[in-house]
Structure 1
Amino acid sequence: MRKIIPTIAASLAAAFALTACGGSAEPASSPTETTAASPTETAAEVTTVKVGASPVPHAQILEFIQSNLAADAGISLDVTEFTDYVLPNEALAGGDIDANYFQHLPYLEEEIATKGYQFEHGAGVHIEPLSLFSSKHATAADVPDGGVIAITNDVSNQNRGLKLLESAGLLSGVADDSTVLTLTDEQNPKGLTFEENQPEVIVQLVEDPKVDAAVVNSNFILSAGLNTNDAIARETVEGNPYANILVWRTDNTNPGVAKLEELLHSPEVAEFIKTTWPSGDVIPG
Protein backbone atom coordinates (compact mmCIF):
# COMPACT_ATOMS: atom_id res chain seq x y z
CA MET A 1 0.00 0.00 0.00
CA ARG A 2 1.24 3.49 -0.87
CA LYS A 3 -0.37 6.58 0.65
CA ILE A 4 0.42 10.19 -0.23
CA ILE A 5 -0.10 12.69 2.58
CA PRO A 6 -0.29 16.20 1.05
CA THR A 7 1.05 19.26 2.84
CA ILE A 8 1.06 22.97 2.11
CA ALA A 9 4.72 22.82 1.14
CA ALA A 10 4.03 20.02 -1.31
CA SER A 11 1.17 21.98 -2.87
CA LEU A 12 3.39 25.01 -3.33
CA ALA A 13 6.07 22.85 -4.89
CA ALA A 14 3.56 21.36 -7.30
CA ALA A 15 2.31 24.80 -8.31
CA PHE A 16 5.84 25.97 -8.99
CA ALA A 17 6.50 22.88 -11.06
CA LEU A 18 3.86 24.01 -13.57
CA THR A 19 5.91 27.12 -14.35
CA ALA A 20 9.39 25.72 -13.98
CA CYS A 21 9.43 22.55 -16.08
CA GLY A 22 9.33 20.27 -13.07
CA GLY A 23 11.64 22.28 -10.81
CA SER A 24 10.53 23.26 -7.32
CA ALA A 25 11.50 26.46 -5.51
CA GLU A 26 9.99 25.23 -2.25
CA PRO A 27 10.84 22.05 -0.34
CA ALA A 28 8.59 19.12 -1.12
CA SER A 29 8.01 17.90 2.39
CA SER A 30 5.05 15.58 2.08
CA PRO A 31 5.76 12.09 3.38
CA THR A 32 4.93 9.00 1.39
CA GLU A 33 3.99 5.95 3.44
CA THR A 34 4.85 2.51 2.16
CA THR A 35 3.58 -0.46 4.13
CA ALA A 36 5.85 -3.45 3.59
CA ALA A 37 4.50 -6.90 2.93
CA SER A 38 3.89 -8.93 6.06
CA PRO A 39 6.33 -11.78 6.73
CA THR A 40 5.11 -15.34 6.91
CA GLU A 41 4.95 -15.47 10.70
CA THR A 42 1.67 -14.74 12.45
CA ALA A 43 1.03 -11.27 13.83
CA ALA A 44 1.61 -12.53 17.38
CA GLU A 45 5.17 -13.52 16.49
CA VAL A 46 6.11 -10.33 14.66
CA THR A 47 6.93 -6.87 16.00
CA THR A 48 6.11 -4.03 13.62
CA VAL A 49 8.59 -1.15 13.58
CA LYS A 50 7.42 2.13 12.05
CA VAL A 51 10.41 3.89 10.50
CA GLY A 52 10.69 7.29 8.82
CA ALA A 53 13.37 7.48 6.13
CA SER A 54 14.64 9.44 3.14
CA PRO A 55 13.69 7.65 -0.11
CA VAL A 56 17.30 7.20 -1.25
CA PRO A 57 19.28 5.39 0.02
CA HIS A 58 17.70 4.90 3.43
CA ALA A 59 14.34 3.47 2.36
CA GLN A 60 16.11 1.24 -0.16
CA ILE A 61 18.29 -0.18 2.60
CA LEU A 62 15.23 -0.73 4.78
CA GLU A 63 13.46 -2.47 1.89
CA PHE A 64 16.42 -4.84 1.58
CA ILE A 65 16.18 -5.60 5.28
CA GLN A 66 12.43 -6.17 5.07
CA SER A 67 12.79 -8.54 2.12
CA ASN A 68 15.80 -10.49 3.34
CA LEU A 69 16.44 -10.18 7.08
CA ALA A 70 13.43 -8.89 9.01
CA ALA A 71 11.37 -12.08 9.17
CA ASP A 72 14.17 -14.10 10.75
CA ALA A 73 14.62 -11.33 13.33
CA GLY A 74 10.90 -11.34 14.15
CA ILE A 75 10.18 -7.83 12.92
CA SER A 76 8.27 -6.21 10.06
CA LEU A 77 9.15 -2.71 8.83
CA ASP A 78 6.46 -0.14 8.08
CA VAL A 79 8.38 2.59 6.24
CA THR A 80 7.24 6.19 5.76
CA GLU A 81 9.33 8.14 3.25
CA PHE A 82 10.09 11.82 3.84
CA THR A 83 11.60 14.15 1.25
CA ASP A 84 12.82 16.78 3.71
CA TYR A 85 14.99 16.90 6.85
CA VAL A 86 12.47 18.46 9.27
CA LEU A 87 9.38 16.25 9.34
CA PRO A 88 11.09 12.94 10.23
CA ASN A 89 12.18 14.23 13.65
CA GLU A 90 8.81 15.90 14.23
CA ALA A 91 7.07 12.62 13.43
CA LEU A 92 9.36 10.73 15.79
CA ALA A 93 8.84 13.21 18.62
CA GLY A 94 5.09 13.06 18.07
CA GLY A 95 4.99 9.27 18.30
CA ASP A 96 3.88 8.73 14.71
CA ILE A 97 6.91 6.51 14.08
CA ASP A 98 9.16 4.39 16.29
CA ALA A 99 12.47 5.45 14.73
CA ASN A 100 13.92 7.40 11.85
CA TYR A 101 16.85 6.83 9.54
CA PHE A 102 17.89 9.86 7.50
CA GLN A 103 20.34 12.00 9.47
CA HIS A 104 23.92 12.10 10.73
CA LEU A 105 25.01 12.82 14.30
CA PRO A 106 26.01 16.51 13.87
CA TYR A 107 22.56 17.26 12.42
CA LEU A 108 20.85 15.30 15.21
CA GLU A 109 22.84 17.18 17.84
CA GLU A 110 21.81 20.49 16.26
CA GLU A 111 18.15 19.42 16.26
CA ILE A 112 18.29 18.33 19.91
CA ALA A 113 19.98 21.59 20.94
CA THR A 114 17.47 23.81 19.15
CA LYS A 115 14.25 21.83 19.59
CA GLY A 116 14.79 19.87 22.80
CA TYR A 117 14.09 16.44 21.35
CA GLN A 118 14.51 13.50 23.72
CA PHE A 119 16.21 11.12 21.31
CA GLU A 120 18.84 8.39 21.38
CA HIS A 121 20.78 7.00 18.44
CA GLY A 122 22.72 4.02 17.20
CA ALA A 123 26.13 3.70 15.56
CA GLY A 124 26.93 5.02 12.10
CA VAL A 125 25.45 2.89 9.30
CA HIS A 126 26.64 4.58 6.12
CA ILE A 127 28.24 7.75 4.76
CA GLU A 128 26.96 9.80 1.81
CA PRO A 129 29.80 12.10 0.68
CA LEU A 130 28.89 15.67 -0.27
CA SER A 131 29.69 16.73 -3.82
CA LEU A 132 30.18 20.07 -5.57
CA PHE A 133 28.42 20.26 -8.95
CA SER A 134 28.54 22.92 -11.64
CA SER A 135 26.85 23.22 -15.01
CA LYS A 136 29.13 26.15 -15.90
CA HIS A 137 32.63 25.18 -14.81
CA ALA A 138 34.77 22.08 -15.45
CA THR A 139 36.85 22.41 -12.27
CA ALA A 140 36.54 24.11 -8.90
CA ALA A 141 39.45 26.37 -9.87
CA ASP A 142 37.29 27.79 -12.67
CA VAL A 143 34.77 29.26 -10.22
CA PRO A 144 35.34 33.02 -10.57
CA ASP A 145 35.84 35.67 -7.92
CA GLY A 146 32.42 36.69 -6.67
CA GLY A 147 30.91 33.43 -7.90
CA VAL A 148 27.57 32.22 -6.54
CA ILE A 149 27.53 28.99 -4.53
CA ALA A 150 24.26 27.25 -3.64
CA ILE A 151 24.48 25.70 -0.18
CA THR A 152 22.13 24.26 2.42
CA ASN A 153 20.67 26.49 5.11
CA ASP A 154 20.89 23.94 7.93
CA VAL A 155 23.84 24.73 10.17
CA SER A 156 25.58 21.36 10.47
CA ASN A 157 25.44 20.54 6.77
CA GLN A 158 26.32 24.10 5.83
CA ASN A 159 29.55 23.93 7.82
CA ARG A 160 30.24 20.58 6.21
CA GLY A 161 29.71 22.20 2.79
CA LEU A 162 32.06 25.06 3.64
CA LYS A 163 34.76 22.55 4.53
CA LEU A 164 34.24 20.87 1.16
CA LEU A 165 34.73 24.25 -0.52
CA GLU A 166 37.88 24.72 1.53
CA SER A 167 39.22 21.34 0.39
CA ALA A 168 38.50 22.43 -3.20
CA GLY A 169 40.61 25.56 -2.72
CA LEU A 170 37.71 28.03 -2.74
CA LEU A 171 37.81 28.95 0.96
CA SER A 172 40.49 29.00 3.65
CA GLY A 173 40.61 28.43 7.41
CA VAL A 174 37.01 27.26 7.85
CA ALA A 175 36.32 26.69 11.55
CA ASP A 176 34.04 24.03 13.02
CA ASP A 177 31.44 26.72 13.76
CA SER A 178 31.81 28.72 10.55
CA THR A 179 28.68 29.64 8.59
CA VAL A 180 28.23 31.71 5.44
CA LEU A 181 27.38 34.67 7.68
CA THR A 182 30.55 34.45 9.76
CA LEU A 183 33.10 34.00 6.97
CA THR A 184 35.76 36.70 6.97
CA ASP A 185 37.46 38.15 3.90
CA GLU A 186 40.50 36.09 4.82
CA GLN A 187 38.44 32.89 4.88
CA ASN A 188 36.65 33.86 1.65
CA PRO A 189 39.44 35.39 -0.48
CA LYS A 190 37.49 34.97 -3.74
CA GLY A 191 34.55 36.94 -2.38
CA LEU A 192 32.11 34.12 -3.08
CA THR A 193 28.44 34.81 -2.46
CA PHE A 194 26.07 32.15 -1.18
CA GLU A 195 22.50 31.22 -2.02
CA GLU A 196 21.07 29.34 0.95
CA ASN A 197 18.13 27.00 0.57
CA GLN A 198 16.64 23.75 1.81
CA PRO A 199 18.91 20.78 0.98
CA GLU A 200 16.23 19.14 -1.16
CA VAL A 201 16.07 22.31 -3.30
CA ILE A 202 19.84 22.73 -3.76
CA VAL A 203 20.06 19.89 -6.29
CA GLN A 204 17.64 21.78 -8.54
CA LEU A 205 19.97 24.79 -8.55
CA VAL A 206 22.82 22.92 -10.26
CA GLU A 207 21.37 23.97 -13.63
CA ASP A 208 20.45 27.49 -12.52
CA PRO A 209 22.36 29.92 -14.79
CA LYS A 210 22.84 32.32 -11.87
CA VAL A 211 24.64 29.66 -9.81
CA ASP A 212 28.31 28.83 -10.40
CA ALA A 213 28.32 25.68 -8.26
CA ALA A 214 26.12 23.84 -5.77
CA VAL A 215 27.01 21.73 -2.74
CA VAL A 216 24.66 18.73 -2.94
CA ASN A 217 23.87 15.99 -0.42
CA SER A 218 24.40 12.50 -1.83
CA ASN A 219 20.87 11.24 -1.26
CA PHE A 220 19.53 14.07 -3.43
CA ILE A 221 22.26 13.41 -6.00
CA LEU A 222 20.96 9.86 -6.28
CA SER A 223 17.30 10.90 -6.38
CA ALA A 224 18.00 13.43 -9.14
CA GLY A 225 19.93 10.92 -11.24
CA LEU A 226 23.15 12.94 -11.22
CA ASN A 227 26.48 11.18 -11.72
CA THR A 228 28.98 11.79 -8.93
CA ASN A 229 31.76 11.34 -11.48
CA ASP A 230 30.64 14.70 -12.90
CA ALA A 231 31.23 16.50 -9.59
CA ILE A 232 34.02 19.10 -9.59
CA ALA A 233 34.85 18.33 -5.94
CA ARG A 234 33.90 15.60 -3.49
CA GLU A 235 34.10 15.11 0.25
CA THR A 236 36.69 12.70 1.59
CA VAL A 237 35.52 9.61 3.45
CA GLU A 238 38.47 9.00 5.74
CA GLY A 239 37.71 10.34 9.22
CA ASN A 240 34.29 11.56 8.05
CA PRO A 241 32.02 12.19 11.09
CA TYR A 242 28.81 12.35 9.05
CA ALA A 243 27.71 8.71 9.09
CA ASN A 244 23.93 8.30 9.00
CA ILE A 245 22.30 6.76 12.06
CA LEU A 246 19.09 5.18 13.34
CA VAL A 247 17.35 7.43 15.89
CA TRP A 248 14.60 6.67 18.39
CA ARG A 249 12.92 8.31 21.40
CA THR A 250 14.47 7.88 24.83
CA ASP A 251 11.16 6.45 26.06
CA ASN A 252 11.00 3.85 23.28
CA THR A 253 9.34 0.59 24.34
CA ASN A 254 9.33 -1.19 20.98
CA PRO A 255 11.85 -4.07 21.15
CA GLY A 256 11.95 -4.19 17.37
CA VAL A 257 13.97 -0.97 17.25
CA ALA A 258 16.99 -2.69 18.83
CA LYS A 259 16.65 -5.55 16.36
CA LEU A 260 16.56 -3.10 13.44
CA GLU A 261 19.67 -1.36 14.76
CA GLU A 262 21.42 -4.73 14.82
CA LEU A 263 20.35 -5.58 11.27
CA LEU A 264 21.54 -2.23 9.93
CA HIS A 265 25.06 -3.22 10.98
CA SER A 266 24.91 -6.74 9.59
CA PRO A 267 27.39 -7.99 6.96
CA GLU A 268 24.45 -8.48 4.60
CA VAL A 269 23.53 -4.79 4.71
CA ALA A 270 27.14 -3.70 4.27
CA GLU A 271 27.42 -5.91 1.19
CA PHE A 272 24.11 -4.61 -0.17
CA ILE A 273 25.39 -1.04 0.12
CA LYS A 274 28.66 -1.88 -1.62
CA THR A 275 27.02 -3.70 -4.52
CA THR A 276 24.14 -1.24 -4.97
CA TRP A 277 26.37 1.85 -5.00
CA PRO A 278 29.73 0.61 -6.32
CA SER A 279 30.90 4.10 -7.30
CA GLY A 280 30.94 5.17 -3.65
CA ASP A 281 27.81 7.34 -3.55
CA VAL A 282 26.95 5.44 -0.37
CA ILE A 283 29.65 3.83 1.76
CA PRO A 284 29.19 1.52 4.78
CA GLY A 285 30.05 3.46 7.92
Structure 2
Amino acid sequence: MPSSFTRRSVLGLLAAAPLPRIAGATTLTTLRIGIMAGEDEDVWRAVAAHAAQCGLALKIVPFSDYNAPDEALAEHELDANAFQHRPFLSAQIAAHGYNIVAVGDTYFSPIGLYSSRWKSVRDLPAGATIGVPNDPSNEGRALHLLEALGLITLNPSAGLLPTALDIADNPRNLSVKELDAGIVGRTLPDLDAAIVNTDWAFKSGIQVDRQRIGQETLAGNPYVNFIAVNAQDAHAPWVASLTNAFHQPDVRKAILDIYHGAIVPAWG
Protein backbone atom coordinates (compact mmCIF):
# COMPACT_ATOMS: atom_id res chain seq x y z
CA MET A 1 0.00 0.00 0.00
CA PRO A 2 1.62 3.31 -1.02
CA SER A 3 2.74 5.38 1.93
CA SER A 4 1.35 8.52 0.33
CA PHE A 5 -2.26 7.38 0.74
CA THR A 6 -4.44 9.60 2.88
CA ARG A 7 -6.51 8.27 5.75
CA ARG A 8 -9.68 8.50 3.67
CA SER A 9 -8.28 6.60 0.68
CA VAL A 10 -6.66 3.90 2.83
CA LEU A 11 -9.71 3.29 4.96
CA GLY A 12 -11.99 3.42 1.93
CA LEU A 13 -10.15 0.45 0.46
CA LEU A 14 -10.46 -1.47 3.72
CA ALA A 15 -13.99 -0.59 4.71
CA ALA A 16 -15.66 -3.24 2.58
CA ALA A 17 -13.81 -6.10 4.26
CA PRO A 18 -15.50 -7.42 7.44
CA LEU A 19 -13.22 -7.68 10.44
CA PRO A 20 -12.97 -11.27 11.76
CA ARG A 21 -12.97 -11.72 15.51
CA ILE A 22 -11.39 -14.44 17.61
CA ALA A 23 -13.16 -17.63 16.57
CA GLY A 24 -10.87 -20.42 17.72
CA ALA A 25 -7.31 -21.69 17.77
CA THR A 26 -7.23 -22.52 14.05
CA THR A 27 -8.79 -19.23 12.86
CA LEU A 28 -6.62 -16.21 12.30
CA THR A 29 -7.99 -13.04 13.86
CA THR A 30 -7.36 -10.08 11.54
CA LEU A 31 -6.33 -6.85 13.24
CA ARG A 32 -5.94 -3.48 11.56
CA ILE A 33 -2.94 -1.62 12.97
CA GLY A 34 -2.37 2.05 12.19
CA ILE A 35 1.22 3.26 11.99
CA MET A 36 3.10 6.10 10.35
CA ALA A 37 4.29 5.43 6.82
CA GLY A 38 8.00 4.82 6.37
CA GLU A 39 10.55 2.75 8.25
CA ASP A 40 7.97 1.54 10.78
CA GLU A 41 6.43 -0.57 8.03
CA ASP A 42 9.63 -2.66 8.01
CA VAL A 43 9.54 -3.03 11.81
CA TRP A 44 5.96 -4.23 11.69
CA ARG A 45 6.77 -6.92 9.12
CA ALA A 46 8.83 -8.59 11.84
CA VAL A 47 6.00 -8.09 14.35
CA ALA A 48 3.47 -9.59 11.94
CA ALA A 49 5.52 -12.77 11.59
CA HIS A 50 5.35 -13.35 15.35
CA ALA A 51 1.70 -12.34 15.51
CA ALA A 52 0.81 -14.99 12.94
CA GLN A 53 2.21 -17.65 15.30
CA CYS A 54 -0.25 -16.40 17.93
CA GLY A 55 -3.24 -16.57 15.59
CA LEU A 56 -3.22 -12.91 14.56
CA ALA A 57 -3.14 -11.67 10.98
CA LEU A 58 -2.01 -8.04 11.00
CA LYS A 59 -3.20 -5.65 8.30
CA ILE A 60 -0.85 -2.69 8.55
CA VAL A 61 -2.41 0.66 7.63
CA PRO A 62 0.20 3.43 7.07
CA PHE A 63 -0.72 7.10 7.60
CA SER A 64 1.02 10.35 6.76
CA ASP A 65 -1.07 12.55 9.08
CA TYR A 66 -0.31 12.27 12.81
CA ASN A 67 -3.86 13.17 13.79
CA ALA A 68 -5.51 10.48 11.68
CA PRO A 69 -4.58 7.21 13.48
CA ASP A 70 -6.30 8.16 16.75
CA GLU A 71 -9.39 9.35 14.91
CA ALA A 72 -9.52 6.09 12.96
CA LEU A 73 -9.04 4.05 16.13
CA ALA A 74 -11.77 5.94 17.98
CA GLU A 75 -14.12 5.30 15.05
CA HIS A 76 -13.25 1.56 15.16
CA GLU A 77 -11.75 1.66 11.69
CA LEU A 78 -8.59 0.31 13.35
CA ASP A 79 -8.15 -2.18 16.18
CA ALA A 80 -4.92 -0.61 17.42
CA ASN A 81 -2.35 1.97 16.48
CA ALA A 82 1.33 2.37 17.31
CA PHE A 83 2.86 5.76 16.59
CA GLN A 84 2.54 8.08 19.60
CA HIS A 85 3.73 8.90 23.10
CA ARG A 86 1.63 9.70 26.18
CA PRO A 87 1.73 13.51 26.00
CA PHE A 88 0.53 13.36 22.39
CA LEU A 89 -2.33 11.00 23.30
CA SER A 90 -3.23 13.18 26.29
CA ALA A 91 -3.51 16.20 23.99
CA GLN A 92 -5.66 14.21 21.56
CA ILE A 93 -7.95 13.03 24.36
CA ALA A 94 -8.28 16.58 25.69
CA ALA A 95 -9.14 17.88 22.22
CA HIS A 96 -11.45 15.11 21.04
CA GLY A 97 -12.58 13.09 24.06
CA TYR A 98 -11.13 9.82 22.77
CA ASN A 99 -11.32 6.80 25.08
CA ILE A 100 -7.97 5.36 24.04
CA VAL A 101 -5.39 3.69 26.30
CA ALA A 102 -1.80 2.47 26.05
CA VAL A 103 -1.29 -1.30 26.33
CA GLY A 104 2.40 -1.90 25.63
CA ASP A 105 5.56 0.16 25.06
CA THR A 106 7.31 -0.09 21.70
CA TYR A 107 10.31 2.20 21.28
CA PHE A 108 11.79 5.52 22.27
CA SER A 109 12.40 8.02 19.50
CA PRO A 110 14.49 10.78 21.08
CA ILE A 111 14.17 14.20 19.54
CA GLY A 112 17.44 15.86 18.72
CA LEU A 113 18.85 19.33 18.28
CA TYR A 114 20.53 19.45 14.86
CA SER A 115 22.67 22.02 13.14
CA SER A 116 24.40 22.35 9.79
CA ARG A 117 26.30 25.45 10.98
CA TRP A 118 27.52 24.67 14.49
CA LYS A 119 29.35 21.68 15.94
CA SER A 120 28.08 21.88 19.53
CA VAL A 121 25.52 23.56 21.78
CA ARG A 122 28.36 25.68 23.14
CA ASP A 123 28.96 27.12 19.68
CA LEU A 124 25.44 28.50 19.25
CA PRO A 125 25.79 32.30 19.12
CA ALA A 126 23.72 34.91 20.92
CA GLY A 127 20.56 35.58 18.95
CA ALA A 128 20.64 32.19 17.23
CA THR A 129 17.39 31.10 15.54
CA ILE A 130 16.17 27.67 16.66
CA GLY A 131 13.38 25.89 14.78
CA VAL A 132 10.89 23.82 16.81
CA PRO A 133 7.75 21.84 15.85
CA ASN A 134 4.60 23.90 16.34
CA ASP A 135 2.12 21.25 17.55
CA PRO A 136 1.53 21.41 21.33
CA SER A 137 3.11 18.15 22.48
CA ASN A 138 6.19 18.35 20.26
CA GLU A 139 6.78 22.05 20.87
CA GLY A 140 6.63 21.42 24.61
CA ARG A 141 9.03 18.54 24.24
CA ALA A 142 11.41 20.66 22.16
CA LEU A 143 11.43 23.48 24.68
CA HIS A 144 12.13 21.03 27.51
CA LEU A 145 15.11 19.75 25.53
CA LEU A 146 16.42 23.31 25.14
CA GLU A 147 16.04 23.67 28.90
CA ALA A 148 17.84 20.37 29.58
CA LEU A 149 20.69 21.58 27.37
CA GLY A 150 21.00 24.73 29.51
CA LEU A 151 19.87 27.14 26.81
CA ILE A 152 16.64 28.42 28.38
CA THR A 153 14.62 28.16 31.59
CA LEU A 154 10.88 27.45 31.46
CA ASN A 155 8.14 28.52 33.81
CA PRO A 156 7.54 25.36 35.93
CA SER A 157 3.77 25.92 35.84
CA ALA A 158 3.75 25.18 32.09
CA GLY A 159 4.11 21.43 32.70
CA LEU A 160 4.70 19.23 29.65
CA LEU A 161 3.12 21.64 27.18
CA PRO A 162 4.99 24.94 27.37
CA THR A 163 5.09 27.37 24.46
CA ALA A 164 7.64 30.04 23.66
CA LEU A 165 5.61 32.36 25.92
CA ASP A 166 6.61 30.17 28.89
CA ILE A 167 10.33 30.87 28.50
CA ALA A 168 11.26 32.53 31.79
CA ASP A 169 14.96 33.02 31.10
CA ASN A 170 16.74 33.21 27.75
CA PRO A 171 20.33 34.27 28.44
CA ARG A 172 21.50 33.90 24.83
CA ASN A 173 18.44 35.72 23.47
CA LEU A 174 17.60 32.76 21.24
CA SER A 175 14.84 33.25 18.71
CA VAL A 176 12.42 30.27 18.72
CA LYS A 177 10.81 29.75 15.31
CA GLU A 178 7.67 27.56 15.37
CA LEU A 179 7.25 25.43 12.23
CA ASP A 180 5.22 22.43 11.14
CA ALA A 181 6.85 19.19 12.32
CA GLY A 182 7.20 17.99 8.74
CA ILE A 183 8.89 21.21 7.61
CA VAL A 184 11.26 22.10 10.45
CA GLY A 185 13.90 19.56 9.41
CA ARG A 186 13.88 20.73 5.80
CA THR A 187 14.52 24.32 6.87
CA LEU A 188 17.65 23.38 8.85
CA PRO A 189 20.03 25.04 6.32
CA ASP A 190 18.24 28.35 6.97
CA LEU A 191 18.44 28.10 10.77
CA ASP A 192 21.21 28.02 13.32
CA ALA A 193 19.71 24.80 14.69
CA ALA A 194 16.42 22.93 14.81
CA ILE A 195 14.76 20.38 17.04
CA VAL A 196 13.41 17.59 14.86
CA ASN A 197 11.63 14.32 15.61
CA THR A 198 13.80 11.39 14.60
CA ASP A 199 11.48 10.09 11.88
CA TRP A 200 11.24 13.53 10.28
CA ALA A 201 15.01 13.94 10.57
CA PHE A 202 15.48 10.84 8.40
CA LYS A 203 12.82 11.98 5.93
CA SER A 204 14.41 15.43 5.72
CA GLY A 205 17.82 14.05 4.80
CA ILE A 206 19.48 15.15 8.04
CA GLN A 207 22.66 13.24 8.84
CA VAL A 208 21.42 12.16 12.25
CA ASP A 209 24.78 11.16 13.76
CA ARG A 210 26.85 13.95 12.23
CA GLN A 211 24.49 16.90 12.62
CA ARG A 212 23.05 16.14 16.05
CA ILE A 213 24.40 18.44 18.76
CA GLY A 214 21.94 17.53 21.54
CA GLN A 215 19.46 14.78 22.36
CA GLU A 216 16.95 13.58 24.95
CA THR A 217 17.73 10.69 27.30
CA LEU A 218 15.44 7.67 27.91
CA ALA A 219 15.54 7.53 31.71
CA GLY A 220 12.27 8.80 33.17
CA ASN A 221 11.18 10.14 29.79
CA PRO A 222 7.40 10.40 29.21
CA TYR A 223 7.82 10.32 25.44
CA VAL A 224 8.06 6.54 25.00
CA ASN A 225 5.91 5.26 22.13
CA PHE A 226 3.34 2.50 22.65
CA ILE A 227 0.60 0.35 21.16
CA ALA A 228 -2.82 1.92 21.83
CA VAL A 229 -6.35 0.48 21.70
CA ASN A 230 -9.85 1.61 22.56
CA ALA A 231 -10.38 1.27 26.30
CA GLN A 232 -13.16 -1.29 25.78
CA ASP A 233 -10.61 -3.59 24.08
CA ALA A 234 -7.84 -3.20 26.64
CA HIS A 235 -8.43 -6.67 28.13
CA ALA A 236 -9.31 -8.47 24.91
CA PRO A 237 -7.33 -11.73 24.46
CA TRP A 238 -5.59 -10.47 21.34
CA VAL A 239 -4.05 -7.43 23.09
CA ALA A 240 -1.52 -9.44 25.12
CA SER A 241 -0.66 -11.51 22.02
CA LEU A 242 -0.11 -8.38 19.94
CA THR A 243 2.11 -6.80 22.58
CA ASN A 244 4.09 -10.01 23.00
CA ALA A 245 4.57 -10.20 19.22
CA PHE A 246 6.25 -6.78 19.39
CA HIS A 247 8.40 -7.61 22.42
CA GLN A 248 10.63 -10.09 20.58
CA PRO A 249 14.42 -10.15 20.15
CA ASP A 250 14.32 -9.93 16.36
CA VAL A 251 11.92 -6.97 16.53
CA ARG A 252 14.38 -5.29 18.88
CA LYS A 253 17.15 -5.95 16.35
CA ALA A 254 15.00 -4.68 13.49
CA ILE A 255 14.40 -1.38 15.30
CA LEU A 256 18.10 -0.87 15.96
CA ASP A 257 19.11 -1.86 12.42
CA ILE A 258 16.42 0.04 10.53
CA TYR A 259 16.93 3.25 12.50
CA HIS A 260 20.72 2.84 12.83
CA GLY A 261 20.50 3.11 16.62
CA ALA A 262 18.79 6.51 16.51
CA ILE A 263 15.57 4.91 17.82
CA VAL A 264 15.80 2.38 20.66
CA PRO A 265 13.52 -0.35 22.03
CA ALA A 266 11.65 0.72 25.15
CA TRP A 267 10.75 -2.60 26.76
CA GLY A 268 12.60 -5.08 28.93
Scaled by the length of structure 1, what TM-score is found?
0.78
| Residues 69-218 of structure 1: pairs in structure 2 closer than 5 A | 69-173=50-154, 175=156, 176-177=159-160, 178-184=162-168, 186=169, 188-207=170-189, 209=190, 211-218=191-198
Work out the CA distance in 2 between the residues paired with 1:30 and 1:235.
36
**1:106: how far off?**
1.6
Quick one: which amino acid aligns to residue 115 of structure 1? Answer: H
What per-residue deviation string (whole Å, max 9, x for no partner) do you get for residues 13-67 of structure 1? xxxxxxxxxxxxxxxx9869999xxxxxxxx71111111101244322212112x
Aligned counterpart, 1:249: 230
* Residue 128 to residue 4, structure 1, CA distance change in 2 (3 Å): closer
Work out the CA distance in 2 between the residues paired with 1:173 and 1:85.
27
Quick one: which amino acid aligns to residue 48 of structure 1? Answer: T
Work out the CA distance in 1 between the residues paired with 2:217 and 2:193.
18
Work out the CA distance in 1 between the residues paired with 2:100 and 2:151.
36
Matched, 1:263 2:235: no
**1:243: how far off?**
1.0
What per-residue deviation string (whole Å, max 9, x for no partner) do you get for residues 248-279 of structure 1? 1123397544421221123332233234444x
Work out the CA distance in 1 between the residues paired with 2:171 and 2:246.
43
Matched, 1:58 2:40: yes
Work out the CA distance in 2 between the residues paired with 1:241 and 1:202.
22
* Residue 32 to residue 132, structure 1, CA distance change in 2 (3 Å): farther
Quick one: which amino acid aligns to residue 263 of structure 1? Answer: A
- Matched residue of 1:204: which SS? coil
Work out the CA distance in 2 between the residues paired with 1:92 and 1:247.
9
- Matched residue of 1:97: which SS? coil
* Residue 159 to residue 3, structure 1, CA distance change in 2 (3 Å): closer
Tell me if the contact between 1:274 and 1:283 (Cα under 8 Å) persists in the aligned partners.
yes
Matched, 1:47 2:25: no
* Residue 97 to residue 104, structure 1, CA distance change in 2 (3 Å): same
Aligned counterpart, 2:18: none
Unmatched 5+ residue regions in structure 1? 8-28, 36-43
Work out the CA distance in 2 between the residues paired with 1:201 and 1:79.
26
Scaled by the length of structure 2, what TM-score is found?
0.82
Residues paired across the two proteins, number: 252
**1:73: how far off?**
1.2
Work out the CA distance in 2 between the residues paired with 1:3 and 1:274.
22
Work out the CA distance in 2 between the residues paired with 1:3 and 1:85.
13
Aligned counterpart, 1:19: none
**1:225: how far off?**
3.8
Question: In percent, how many aligned pairs have the same letter?
Answer: 31
What per-residue deviation string (whole Å, max 9, x for no partner) do you get for residues 80-128 of structure 1? 1112321111111122211111001121112112221011111321101
- Matched residue of 2:178: which SS? strand
Work out the CA distance in 1 between the residues paired with 2:3 and 2:198.
26
- Matched residue of 1:226: which SS? coil
Provide the alpha-carbon RMSD of the alignment. 2.9
